[in-house]
Amino acid sequence: MNKALRKTVIAGNWKMNKTPSEAAALIEEIKPLVKGADCEVVVCVPFVDLHVAIEAVKESNIKVGAQNCHFERSGAFTGEISPVMLKEMGVEYVIIGHSERRTYFGETDVTVNKRTLAALNEGLKVILCVGEYLEQREQGITEELVAMQTKIALQNVTEEQLKNVIIAYEPVWAIGTGKTATAEQANEVNGIIRATIEKLYGKAAADGITIQYGGSMNAANATELLAQPHVDGGLIGGASLKAQDFAAIVKAASV
């Protein structure tokens, strides 16, 4: 286990927040605050904000991500966006398998795998989300569950493609609830995910993969979470919508 072998990535997941004009304004606010950060900084914005976001981050160290993509290149899939479309726009990252997509939009481990493969085949970087519900934690199946989610999501993903995958552990009970996993809980599950990667791809791949924590991460708790040996960054919801808070987390990751 060697933290120096992997990139620390702080990504904001704006979810369904910010119109295009609001997105441009927020990025302008964030830009000077994260300049010179010693970690990767990503903002994952709603589809309709991608264009202005890509323009706004030019000549800055901020990267732009989407929050989902379909698994086909094109076709009769009303309301969906394909990875080809994202790539052509200049999008670099895409979140796949967020628990809100799994819970509210029928996303399954199998469709998460299909979307992951499609995004990787198009050259996008994937932020793959896994995590348990509170009931599952109480049933004592967190370990098996995140290992299973990780394994299924990565079916047929090559070792080379894995270099473009970040995994985000997001316990569902900690998302938007203000109830953060303890640093120990986050580190433990991130370690389980890393062990799963080692079983599938070997030690070098496991040492190299960035595994984030997400779930009520904020300026106050980021330092402790990010200090954990298996926590290589954060996927930030609410706190990513406030420039100062997001920048404080980026700063905590840059030490």
Among the listed residues 9, 10, 13, 171, the single contact to ligand 13P using CB under 6 A:
13
| 13/68 with CB nearer ligand 13P | 13
Among the listed residues 219, 225, 238, 250, the single contact to ligand 13P using CB under 6 A:
238
What is the CA angle 66-194-229, rounded to 5? 95
Task: Please give the residues from 14 up to 43 whose contact with ligand 13P meets the rule CB under 6 A.
Answer: none
* Bridge partners for 13 per DSSP: 44
Based on the shown chain and the rule CB under 6 A, indicate whether residue 214 belongs to the binding site for ligand 13P. Answer: yes
Among the listed residues 50, 130, 181, 235, the single contact to ligand 13P using CB under 6 A:
235
Q: C-alpha distances in angstroms, 100 versus 172, 173, 240?
A: 9, 12, 17
Active site residue 170: yes
Active site residue 40: no
Q: b/e map of 53-66 (b: 16 or more CB within 10 Å)?
A: bbebbeeeebbbbb
| 49/170 with CB nearer ligand 13P | 170
Burial of 106 from C-beta contacts in 10 A (0-12 / 13-18 / 19+) = exposed
DSSP three-state, residue 2:
coil
Based on the shown chain and the rule CB under 6 A, indicate whether residue 176 belongs to the binding site for ligand 13P. Answer: yes
Q: Which residues contact 154 (CB under 8 A, 6 or more apart)?
A: 113, 116, 128, 162, 165, 200
**Piece of the chain touching ligand 13P by CB under 6 A; list 58-66, 198-206, 231-239, 242-250:** 231-239
Based on the shown chain and the rule CB under 6 A, indicate whether residue 215 belongs to the binding site for ligand 13P. Answer: yes
Active site residues: 98, 170
What residues make contact with ligand 13P under the rule CB under 6 A? 13, 98, 170, 175-176, 214-217, 235-239
